[in-house]
Amino acid sequence: MRRWKFENTLWLFFYVSIALVYIRGLFLGLMDVDSAQYASISREMYETGSYLQVRHQGRDYLDKPPLLFWTSALSYSIFGINEFAFRFFSFLFSILGVYSTYRLGRLLYNIWVGKVAALILATCQAWFLFNHDVRTDTILTGAATYAVWQLIYYLKAKKPFAFVGAFTGIAVAMMSKGPIGLVIPAVAVGVYLISIKKWKKIFHWRWLAGLAWTMLLLTPMLYGLYMQYDAQPEKEVELMTSAGPQSYKGLSGIKFFFWTQSFGRITGDSAWEDRSSPFYFVHNFLWSFAPWSLLSILALYSRLKNNFVADNRYKEWVSPMTFLFAFFAFSASKFKLPHYLFIAFPYAAIFSAYFVVMRLPKLSGWMKVATVVQQYVFAFFSAVVAVFLMAVVFPEKEYMSVIIWFTGISAIIIASLKLPYTRAILAIGAFTGVMLNGVLNFRFYPELMEYQPGYYLAERIHKAKIPPEEVCISFARSVHTLEFYSRHIFCKENTVRPELSKYWICSVEQLKNIEDQGLKYSVLLQRPSYHVTLLNIGFLNPATRENYLDQVYLIEIL
């Protein structure tokens, strides 16, 4: 009884801690470039009422489907225009992804695998990032995982509402990121039917009915794309590419949605291309699925190996094959970003949970030792990183929070030794994820946002009662946060022109040009600027940080 109470108290502590870290992330400042850009597009959509035709800074925007902007605009109407409102619906979809992973793991295995899979997913690094650095992949992953759960539940229980729910989830996923929202559920269900030797059901007519329902739900988006692009072939549209902005004529919005932006990155039809290695997602998986990534590699090996054991009761192929399909498909893309792979993480969580719950208790030898060692290695590494961030990168005048943090992690590690073996593995992993991201959300990111000048420029313009329409920008860096917090699209010029406006946001070089022209000016605000999503050791080192900073000025021409 005493052990039972101890375990329940410890798990309650984890769930409360996860919730606190998530909630703190909802109120962090927006991060340039993508997240702030999406928030700004959503604000523009909300204020103009143009919901079927997506625009950014008054120009056509084709890069992403509209669902993230629709949900954010709806949230603005409820909560007002702020960071929390922008993130709210994405947060709900991230929770839907965790719950769907639990239900899918329960369907494929049992309730304990489902619970552990949900815990693993909720405490991996990617999921904490999902809830403050919002991307379209958050809605995509939650909706696609929900669709797979509903489809497999339908195949097992024959519930019509699950069939409708599945294809509704697919439609939502497609409206958030494109055809990948259909491809991943199709692969998962196809693998499931083949694995239970019912592959002929893949060709059943009911899938056409489901796709028809999906297409019906996609109609508003497709109509908007057609009217904005296909119906106006003479229109010149500017698209951002890996080589910079490019102008195109005769673009088909529907073709771009169904092919170019997704499959075109594999075939070469897309203008996005980088020089990333085919092994790009190997090292990205190690950090983004931490603290479970090394465990999941052992779990994947164990899962595939045991699928070939003749008397194995659980020959489950859905989670490993769906994960591997996504991994190799994205690795073949000519343009890669870390969050592309996040849609595969629910499946990694499921086969990892199977390994912890059903294989670890039966193992002995090197795999058991390796599992223990890797969890403690992650815990130690996370402790070092957290102390480094708090004591070195952004040091406090007093180190009480460092002492409290170090004492807390030591206490939890010691407490975990009282748990049974498999629960100790879970406790150390979950605590590592929660505590590292607690340091990031409560200490590191708020300090880091000091080097994004957009919020402070918007605040100064508001306090000085300067009409935003009288301010022009002559600064090369991203201004999405400035436009979001100012609720205004600013004019932009390469050089300062006093006849155009007397209020300017500019760089050091622009100030020199103004002085060379013999103009007098007054500095209303000066802020340091850094591209915070591209951290390097020079910036993180306080002794050399100044060398990596730009300065941004809000000035008034006198």
User: 9-44, pLDDT tens digit by residue?
Assistant: 767 777 888 898 999 999 999 988 789 999 999 999
Q: Is the separation of the CB atoms in 237 and 250 below 8 Å? A: no
CA angle at 385 for the pair 380 and 391, rounded to the nearest 5°: 120
CA–CA dist 69, 41 (Å, integer): 7
Distance in Å from the first CA to the final CA of the chain: 77
Tokens of 216: 């019906």
Q: Write the pLDDT tens digit of every residue in 56-94.
A: 988 899 888 999 999 999 999 999 999 999 999 999 999
Q: Mean pLDDT over residues 311-333, rounded?
A: 88
Strand 521-529's sheet: what is its strand order? 491-492, 471-474, 503-506, 550-557, 521-529
Q: Write the pLDDT tens digit of every residue in 326-357.
A: 999 999 888 888 889 999 999 999 999 999 99
Instruction: Give Cα separations from 100 to 146, 153, 292, 350, 398 (angstroms).
Output: 5, 11, 19, 11, 43
CA–CA dist 18, 81 (Å, integer): 26
Query: Per-residue pLDDT for 409 more than 70?
Result: no
For 57, left (φ over 0), alpha (ψ -120 to 50), or beta?
A: left
CA–CA dist 327, 300 (Å, integer): 13
Q: Is the separation of the CB atoms in 44 and 55 below 8 Å? A: yes
CA–CA dist 31, 41 (Å, integer): 14
CA–CA dist 258, 15 (Å, integer): 39
Q: Which residue has the higher pLDDT, 52 or 476?
A: 52
The average confidence (pLDDT) of the chain is 87
CA 195 to chain centre: 31
Whether cis (ω within 30° of 0) applies to the bond prior to 320 is no
**How many residues comprise the chain?**
558
Query: Per-residue pLDDT for 2 more than 90?
Result: no
Which residue, 357, 173, 177, is CA-closest to 261?
A: 177
The pLDDT score that the predictor gives to residue 335 is: 81
Q: Write the pLDDT tens digit of every residue in 248-276.
A: 888 888 988 888 877 776 666 666 677 77
Q: Is the separation of the CB atoms in 135 and 34 below 8 Å? A: yes
Q: What band does 311 get if pLDDT is binned at 50, 70 and 90?
A: low
The pLDDT score that the predictor gives to residue 276 is: 78
Percent of the residues in the chain that have a pLDDT greater than 90, as a whole number:
52
CB-based contacts of 528, cutoff 8 Å, min separation 6: 450, 451, 453, 549, 550, 551, 552
CA 418 to chain centre: 35
Query: Per-residue pLDDT for 372 more than 90?
Result: no
Q: Is the separation of the CB atoms in 147 and 171 below 8 Å? A: no
The pLDDT score that the predictor gives to residue 5 is: 60
The pLDDT score that the predictor gives to residue 147 is: 98
Dihedral angle of Cα 94, 96, 99, 100, to the nearest 10 degrees: -110
The pairing of strands 491-492 and 471-474 is parallel
Q: Which residue has the higher pLDDT, 147 or 418?
A: 147
The pLDDT score that the predictor gives to residue 138 is: 94
Tokens of 169: 């989830």
Q: Write the pLDDT tens digit of every residue in 107-120.
A: 999 999 999 999 99
The pLDDT score that the predictor gives to residue 67 is: 95
- Pick from 120-129, 413-422, 548-557: least confident: 413-422
Query: For the residues of 466-520, what is the DSSP string, one character each?
Result: --GGGEEEE-SS--HHHHHHHTS--EE-SS--TTT-SEEEE-HHHHHHHHHTT--
CB-based contacts of 61, cutoff 8 Å, min separation 6: 41, 54, 55
Whether cis (ω within 30° of 0) applies to the bond prior to 33 is yes
Q: Write the pLDDT tens digit of every residue in 144-182.
A: 999 999 999 999 998 999 999 999 999 999 999 999 999
The pLDDT score that the predictor gives to residue 405 is: 64
Q: Write the pLDDT tens digit of every residue in 460-471.
A: 999 999 999 999
Helices (H) and strands (E) in the chain, counts: 24, 9
CB-count burial class (<10 Å; 0-12, 13-18, 19+) for 301: middle
Percent of the residues in the chain that have a pLDDT greater than 70, as a whole number:
91
Q: Mean pLDDT over residues 354-378, rounded?
A: 80
Q: What band does 105 get if pLDDT is binned at 50, 70 and 90?
A: very high
Tokens of 43: 């604000």
Tokens of 198: 């019912």
Q: Which residue has the higher pLDDT, 268 or 434?
A: 434
Query: Per-residue pLDDT for 507 more than 80?
Result: yes
Give the position of tokens 């390469």. Answer: 494
Q: Is the separation of the CB atoms in 452 and 32 below 8 Å? A: yes
CB-based contacts of 379, cutoff 8 Å, min separation 6: 291, 409, 413, 428, 431, 432
Please report which helix (H) or strand (E) contains residue 433, including its range.
Answer: helix 421-439
If you compute the radius of gyration of the chain from its CA atoms, what whole number of angstroms results? 25
Tokens of 210: 């489901």
The pLDDT score that the predictor gives to residue 162 is: 95
The pLDDT score that the predictor gives to residue 1 is: 46
CA–CA dist 386, 406 (Å, integer): 9
CA–CA dist 120, 349 (Å, integer): 6
Tokens of 221: 């988006």
What are the structural domain ranges in the chain?
A: 31-264+272-359, 363-450, 452-557
Q: Write the pLDDT tens digit of every residue in 180-239.
A: 999 999 999 999 999 998 888 888 899 999 999 999 999 999 999 999 998 888 888 877
Tokens of 86: 């922008």
